[in-house]
Amino acid sequence: MNDRLVETFLDEARELLDGLEDHLLDLEKNPEDADALNAAFRALHSIKGSASMFGFDDAGAFAHEVEAALDHFRTAHLPVTPELSDAVLRSRDYLRVLLSNPDAVEDDEREDLLGILVSLSGKKVAPGGGAAAELPERRDTTYRVTYKPSADSYRRGVRPETLLSELRALGKSSVRCSREAVPRLADLEPDTSYLAWDVLLTTDKPQSAIRDVFIFEEGSSDIHVSAMDAAEFMDGEEVKRLGEILAETVLPAASIQEALSKQRPIGEILVSDLNAPPDAVEDALFKQRHARTVVQNNRDEVERKTIRIRSEKLDALLNLVGELVTVQAQLSQAVRDSGDRHLHGITDYVKRLASELRATSMELRLIPVDTLFGKFKRLVRDLGKNLGKDIELMVDGGETEMDKSVIDALTDPLMHLVRNSADHGIEKPEEREKRGKPRTGVIKLSALHVGAFVRISVADDGGGLDRERILRKAVERGLVAADARPSDEEIDQFIFAPGFSTAESVSNLSGRGVGLDVVKTAIDQLGGTLNVHGDTGKGTEFTLDIPLTLAIIDGFLVRSGRRMFVIPLASVDSCFERARPEDPERLITRGDEFIPYASSRVLFGSDGDAPEREEIVIVSVFDSKLAIGFDQVLGGYQTVIKPIGEVARYAIGVSGAAILADGGIALILDVAALAKKLKDTSVKSQK
């Protein structure tokens, strides 16, 4: 078996299993959601069919048992029970192990699950755990629907076009309108219905779904629904010719054989020589057009499938684009130095192409945050059951896009935060009732773009932060002096200290003090910031401000002495020039605003005499602004971010480096970290 094909199957199987989990969680909220049940069934059916094809026979046989249990509820139109939901979720986890690491499966777990599934589906199991009989597959069926509204349908408020739209939503349809009953204009009454419709509908829905569309028209209008044999207009996967359709429906076999001997196209012969009724010809054409529509739609769906590309290839592409951006900058610098006007147009064109290629390659790596948030639905559900709490997960801003590498790096930190909210934040249902809260606690995940960052929030409506208890623990561990009076914000930061925990006992979820320290370290490594806000009894909110991408950014090149810096362009608000002040200042006035100010020579040291005038760059830091003074602003610069190793961990306000066109190095500024540094310095000086 081709290893690449097996790997592709495993990737698709994991996606199907993730989708299965989502559908089951939806069913727990609404046990009668038929669409979610059908979607879960289809996911298992796809896994079952493909697993055996690629040699995963055990996974295919087990998936069949799970499918049988779901099908029992689906065909009997039964609401999903908690027992079924639990069993299928456990089976989903077992299938994932069967596919990824078959040697790690536990036979006891398999036998336990099979016993539950068999009891739920009412189906016997063949010796060896395999399926006793193959379940019938649900296939598309073509129905013929004729609908002639009653003459007073308009007066009753019926809108036939709405009913036809509902039919179209059930599958692939072809519709034709009969105008035979329409009278002459002089006899026409505007509030009387004269039209009738003939519909061919190919769908996987049962006939009852079609009847439901006309539930309020039954008994008033003329409605007929009948299943058709696909062989009337299809020959396997091919659409039959017009003559073949006519031959099988309206003409005797003897006449057909005689006509065929004339060796002309059968459609022409049947119409011209055998006087096929015009209505039959029109009906055959109608069927043929519908069949072609169905076939073409199926082909289009295949063509619209996305191409699966390994992330390593995207990484390689982005690295090459990064090198191209650097070389393009060097080329532009060389052309400017040469003064050859002819080359200016060419370099501008190369610059534009490189910019478009950079933007396109970056978009390839951007994926919605919802792919990350979706992983926590099951986690919250299981945490609630294990902790004896009612917890609901809410998601907002899932369409926000981030670099895939950033999303991958955020999985573990967010998992720690969600666990922390469930364990420490949300109270027991009885305690919530005493506090006048709903029994069900809420954990909310949200994401939104803020400049060059994405702000991700993990909030709960639980007990909040008990600052007295946190401070007491901090004093016990020697993090702060017993007579110190730290601010609320400083107390909140103690929970990120290594080994810090307020849990009274150690459990499988908390108590060892490793969770939030790990989160803080991971966010720092991403160049982001982590903050927490909360009041006793009012819940807690963790906010993570993460760079949008870790690869290439549009920057703003500035100089301080001989040092070069790059500010992310998305953070730049405005810039202006002024005379350098003689005395140091902390605030500058800009219009009606008072903006905190810092000189780059103070922040990063000076190397050379300062010019008489300085250029101020005002940057936006989430909800506030910061003004930084430089010797010179050089303008926009496309920047490839290069890591600068362990040394950068101790250089506050620096997130990376960039290679300039002349081969020099520019440091990329982390304006959020600079703003925090200035704020902390200001608070300490006031004390």
Last residue of a domain, one of 500, 522, 547: 547
- Residues 420 and 536 both lie in one domain: yes
Residue 525 and residue 660 in one domain: no
Give the span between the Cα atoms of 276 and 269, in whole angstroms. 9
- Which of 522, 547, 572 lies at the terminal end of a domain, its last residue? 547
Closest CA to 427 of 513, 538, 510: 538
Distance CA 655, CA 652 (A): 8
Whole-number mean pLDDT of the chain? 79
Higher pLDDT pick, 373 / 321: 373
Give the max Cα distance, the chain. Answer: 111
193 and 342 housed in the same domain = no
For residues 656 and 615, membership in a common domain is answered with yes
List the Cα angle 626/631/634 in 5-degree steps.
90
The domain boundary residue, chosen from 520, 547, 574 = 547
pLDDT over threshold 70, residue 111? yes
Based on the domain organization, do 102 and 9 belong to the same domain? yes
Residue 565 pLDDT: 92
Residue 463 lies in a domain: yes
Q: What is the pLDDT of residue 511?
A: 44
* Cα–Cα dist 531/544, whole Å: 7
pLDDT of 512 reads 42
Tokens of 309: 């590309």
The CATH number covering residue 44 comes to 1.20.120.160
| 541 and 400 in a common domain | yes
* CATH code of the domain containing 468: 3.30.565.10
Residues 469 and 524 in one domain: yes
Residue 165 has pLDDT above 60, yes or no: yes
Task: Assess whether pLDDT exceeds 70 at residue 446.
Answer: yes
The region of weakest confidence among 85-94, 217-226, 286-295, 385-394 is 286-295
Asked whether residue 330 falls in the same domain as residue 411, the answer is no
Task: Give phi and psi for 548, each to the nearest 5.
Answer: -60, -35
Helix (H) or strand (E) holding 619: strand 613-621
Strands (E), 108-243: 141-148, 172-178, 196-203, 222-228, 234-235, 238-239
Q: What would the mean pLDDT of 268-282 be, rounded to a whole number? A: 68
Residues 498, 509: Cα–Cα separation, whole Å: 17
Q: Which of 370-374, 440-444, 664-668, 673-677 reaches the highest mean pLDDT?
A: 440-444
> Is 442 a residue whose pLDDT tops 90?
yes
| DSSP per-residue codes, 295-363 | HHHHHHHHHTPPPP--HHHHHHHHHHHHHHHHHHHHHHHHHHHHT-HHHHHHHHHHHHHHHHHHHHHHH
In a domain, 31, yes or no: yes
Q: Residue 289: inside a domain, yes or no?
A: yes
Total domain count, the chain: 5
Tens of pLDDT, residue by residue over 507-524, are: 555 544 446 888 888 887
What separation in angstroms does the CA of 488 have from each of 185, 284, 297, 644? 82, 79, 61, 34
**Average pLDDT, integer, range 170-177:** 86
Same domain? For 344 and 470 the reply is no
In a domain, 432, yes or no: yes
pLDDT, tens digit, 9 for 90 and up, residues 630-648? 999 988 877 777 766 665 5
* Alpha-helical runs (H) found in 30-81: 34-53, 57-75
What is the SS3 assignment for 28? Answer: helix
Report whether pLDDT(29) > 50. Answer: yes
Q: Do both 538 and 578 map to the same domain? A: no
φ, ψ at 176 (rounded to 5°): -135, 150
pLDDT at residue number 506: 47
Q: Same domain for 11 and 35? A: yes
The angle formed by the CA atoms of residues 381, 385 and 391, to the nearest 5 degrees, is 50
Do 195 and 176 touch, CB atoms closer than 8 A? no
Cα–Cα distance, 91 to 68 (Å, whole number): 13
pLDDT band at 525 (very low <50, low <70, confident <90, very high): confident
Same domain membership, residue 249 and residue 220? yes
Paired tokens of 268: 């022409």
- 601-610: pLDDT as tens digits: 888 887 778 8
Rounded CA separation 107/644 (Å):
50
Which residue did the predictor score with more confidence, 605 or 121?
Answer: 605
Q: At what angle do helices 3-29 and 376-387 cross, to 10 degrees?
A: 50
Domain hosting residue 601, numbered range:
552-686
Using a pLDDT cut of 70, give the percent of the chain over it.
81
pLDDT of residue 394: 92
User: Regarding predicted confidence, which is higher, 675 or 308?
Assistant: 675
Residue 30 confidence (pLDDT) above 90: no
Instruction: Report the CATH number that the domain containing residue 659 is assigned in CATH.
Output: 2.30.30.40
Q: Say if 308 falls within a structural domain.
A: no
pLDDT above 60 for 263? no
Q: Is the pLDDT at 649 greater than 60, yes or no?
A: no
Q: Which residue has the higher pLDDT, 535 or 615?
A: 615
| Across 618-628, average pLDDT | 83
Q: What are phi and psi of 560, to 5 degrees?
A: -135, 105
Q: Is the pLDDT of residue 392 over 60?
A: yes
Residue 486 covered by a domain: yes
Residue 25 lies in a domain: yes
pLDDT of residue 249: 59
Within a domain: 135: no
Task: Check residues 645 and 542 and name the one with the higher pLDDT.
Answer: 542
Residue 445 pLDDT > 90, yes or no?
Answer: yes
pLDDT value of residue 303: 46
Q: What are the two backbone dihedrals, phi and then psi, of residue 620, each rounded to the nearest 5 degrees?
A: -95, 125
